[in-house]
A and B are shown apart, each in its own frame.
Chain A
Amino acid sequence: MSDILLISILSGAVLSGTPLLYATLSEMLSERTGVINLGLEGIMLIGAVVGFVTTVKTGNHALGIIAAAFAGALFNMIFAFMVITRKANQLASGLALMFCGVGLSALIGAPFIGSRIEGLGAIAIPLLSDIPFLGRVFFNYDILVYLAIPTAVVIWWFLFKTRWGLSLRAVGENPTAAYAAGKNPYLLQYQVLFIAGLLGGIAGAHLSLALAHTWAEWMTAGRGFFAVALVIFAKWHPLRAIAGALLFGGAISLQLQMQAQGVPVSSFLLDMLPYVLSLVVLALWGGARRSAVPGSLGRVFQGTE
């Protein structure tokens, strides 16, 4: 019995954690280059609706995911234009982007509520998924789940092992210095925000195509903001983000399991945990001295940017 319980919690963690991971990676890339995007919620919604609508119309999930990714990226370009070229305030622009995403996705999705799609199916990896315990937990998911951790690793590699990643981080620490060193901070930021948009769109697509198999207004229910907290919790590091996403995905799943088992626990108090923990992490590592916060991001927070 407890075996099944464990499997269930872990697989629930993986399922909830996947969109969280993509979203966290998206926000992390933005913030690493010095831009905080509170509009992630909007990007995810655009991804969710475009992915769903495309799949309804074409019957092809791959197309749906790709469309969702590009829709997210293009949508984020609005934000990029605002904060990079027009130098508008990042927080306000992000919130405006979120509102836009909520409205636009509602408009696009309205005729498709109640439509049916074949959900993004689970792909059982042959042989591996037959391993008694591990098989169920690790090898029986949809494609986006399988790609999630490799994506995080790829991003880690790019961030820390390539010159492009170095430039990106340099811009995030101090754009003026980066500029003086011959980089073009604006171009880099645009590139990064494009990729961040792709990831955000994929996160949304997973919600509608793999999890819910439907579209509903504002179906992200705050997951975009959750990701902002997770980025802090992960101290802006992609590999720690994997742990964070699994952990908090697991918390959601654990909570549901505990209910189903009849354990008296308040889901609300449990839900607070990620935010409180992020605050703790920030307090310990976000302060002026031993800061894990990317430099120019910190200046946005201080209000001097």
Chain B
Amino acid sequence: MKKTVCLTLKGMVFLTIAALALGAGLPATAQGQEKLKVGIIHIGSINDAGYNQAHSEGVQVMKKNLPNVEVIQAENIPEGADAERVMENMIKQGAKLIIPASFGYLDPALKIAKKYPDVKFVHPGGYKRAPNLGTYWASTPEAFYLAGIAAGRTTKTNKAGYVVALPISFFLANINAFHLGARSVNPNFETRVVFMGTFLDAPKEAIAANALLDMGVDVLGVIVDSPITVVQAAERRGAFSVGYHYLGAQKFAPKGWITGIAFTWGELYTRFAKAVMDGSWKSEAVFGNLASDYLTIAPFGSVVPADAVKLVNSTRQEFLAGKKDVFQGPLKDNRGVERVKAGESFPLQGIGKMDWLVEGVIGQPK
């Protein structure tokens, strides 16, 4: 017994000495000098054809646009202490702009931001800011509304199913918008929502997708980190699909693709980096909309009828001109409670507080 104890103790000492020797001996891994280093941490894999890939491609575009920017990427970092440690590591490697690319990184990022006031942070989807931490997101409900119009005109069974990670208010708002858009062209439209309880569990998503399809839905939408599984499930059973996060998801459903709502962060990230480099960056809540260059509606699939595409485009103009609101009252939730009075509108800026599903959507937000 003492053996193992002594073993490990002496071994520790030995290793520490060896480590310091090695560390001193070998040259450090690549260090840049005059560049801007940008660090980005991902909650999942950058090849997920979804949320993470969209962010990753965004920084690649930024890198291409600005040759003197260097990027440090880390994938699959859990929230909490690990995220903090990785961000600190990046800062120690010289990063001056950090993108903590997941909702759950907000609190860890705020902690690190306090510690390093001269490093700038931009957080997607955050609801709290700091002098050196700003937030950004694109208001997606309008886009989902448009997708809903397309879905409402493409469906044959008038039923849609949504596989969603968690009942986060942003996601609820998206579903509501989709449903309202579909209802506007198809009064019999019904949307069913199933929550996974986690951002990524491919087998469970497959079962959920099949369950929804069994119930007769012929449009499947998805709000999880990677749309691959659900979109493929729809394609296999001849249903239509609406993607999310990433434009490239279309290749998984060549026949049934309706459209998708994707994020193309590249130009926005380029602007952030430029602002940091020339000192003009300030902490703000960037909240884009349909007009922004980081929110894109994917090209429509061939199954969408031409008149639907026309209607989408004209509605989009109405949104851009401010002539139409997505959540125009009167609106009741799916438990019968009135949520928006007639003549009023639920403001897009406030969707962080939306915790209900609109009437006609079958599912439980709580």
CB atoms of B201 and A221 under 8 A apart? yes
| Contact A116 to B251, CB < 8 A, known contacts A213-B228, A261-B362 | yes
Is A143 in the interface zone, CB < 8 Å from B? no
| Contact A260 to B48, CB < 8 A, known contacts A212-B203, A216-B200 | no
**In the assembled complex, how far is the CB of residue B363 from the closest CB belonging to chain A, in whole angstroms?**
6
CB atoms of A119 and B45 under 8 A apart? no
Chain A residues, Cβ within 8 Å of B204? 221, 252, 256
Chain A residues, Cβ within 8 Å of B233? 213
CB atoms of B214 and A4 under 8 A apart? yes
Of B88-96, B190-198, B286-294, the segment with at least 4 beta carbons within 8 Å of chain A is: B190-198
Is A8 in the interface zone, CB < 8 Å from B? yes
Chain A residues, Cβ within 8 Å of B363? 259-260, 262
Q: Which residues of A contact B (CB under 8 A)?
A: 4-5, 7-9, 11-12, 15-16, 19, 106, 110, 113-114, 116, 119, 207-208, 211-214, 216-217, 219, 221, 252-253, 256-257, 259-264, 267-268
Of B26-34, B169-177, B205-213, B295-303, the segment with at least 4 beta carbons within 8 Å of chain A is: B205-213
14 additional contacts, CB 8 Å, given A4-B216, A213-B233, A260-B211?
A: A8-B211, A8-B214, A12-B211, A116-B252, A214-B226, A216-B200, A221-B201, A221-B204, A256-B194, A260-B161, A260-B212, A262-B364, A267-B197, A268-B197
* B146-197 residues at the A interface, CB under 8 angstroms: 161, 192-195, 197
Is B47 in the interface zone, CB < 8 Å from A? yes
Chain B residues, Cβ within 8 Å of A16? 203, 207
Is B202 in the interface zone, CB < 8 Å from A? yes
Chain B residues, Cβ within 8 Å of A216? 44-45, 48, 200, 202, 226
| Bound-complex Cα distance A199 to B260 (A) | 39
Chain A residues, Cβ within 8 Å of B200? 216
Q: How many A-B residue pairs have CB under 8 A?
A: 110
Closest 10 CB pairs between A and B?
A: A212-B202, A8-B214, A114-B47, A113-B47, A211-B203, A211-B206, A262-B362, A260-B192, A113-B45, A114-B49
> Chain A at the B interface: mostly helix, strand, loop or mixed?
helix
**In the assembled complex, how far is the CB of residue A119 from the closest CB belonging to chain B, in whole angstroms?**
6
Q: Which residues of B contact A (CB under 8 A)?
A: 44-45, 47-49, 53, 76, 161, 192-195, 197-198, 200-208, 210-212, 214-216, 226, 228-229, 232-233, 236, 251-252, 334, 362-364
| Bound-complex Cα distance A259 to B364 (A) | 7
CB atoms of B215 and A5 under 8 A apart? yes
CB atoms of B212 and A253 under 8 A apart? no
Chain B residues, Cβ within 8 Å of A9? 211
Which residue of chain A has the shortest Cβ distance to B45 in the bound complex? A113
| Bound-complex Cα distance A109 to B207 (A) | 22
Which of B48, B201, B232 has a CB less than 8 Å from the CB of A213? B232
- 18 CB contacts below 8 A, A to B, read A4-B216, A8-B211, A12-B210, A16-B207, A106-B76, A114-B49, A114-B53, A208-B202, A213-B233, A216-B202, A219-B203, A256-B207, A257-B211, A260-B362, A263-B364, A267-B195, A267-B197, A268-B197
Chain A residues, Cβ within 8 Å of B207? 12, 15-16, 211, 252-253, 256
Chain A residues, Cβ within 8 Å of B215? 4-5, 8, 260
| Bound-complex Cα distance A252 to B208 (A) | 10
CB atoms of A256 and B208 under 8 A apart? yes
Which residue of chain A has the shortest Cβ distance to B205 in the bound complex? A212
CB atoms of A207 and B195 under 8 A apart? no
Chain B residues, Cβ within 8 Å of A263? 364
Chain A residues, Cβ within 8 Å of B76? 106, 217
Which residue of chain B has the shortest Cβ distance to A116 in the bound complex? B252
**In the assembled complex, how far is the CB of residue A271 from the closest CB belonging to chain B, in whole angstroms?**
9
CB atoms of A114 and B48 under 8 A apart? yes
| Contact A217 to B45, CB < 8 A, known contacts A211-B206, A252-B204, A260-B193 | yes
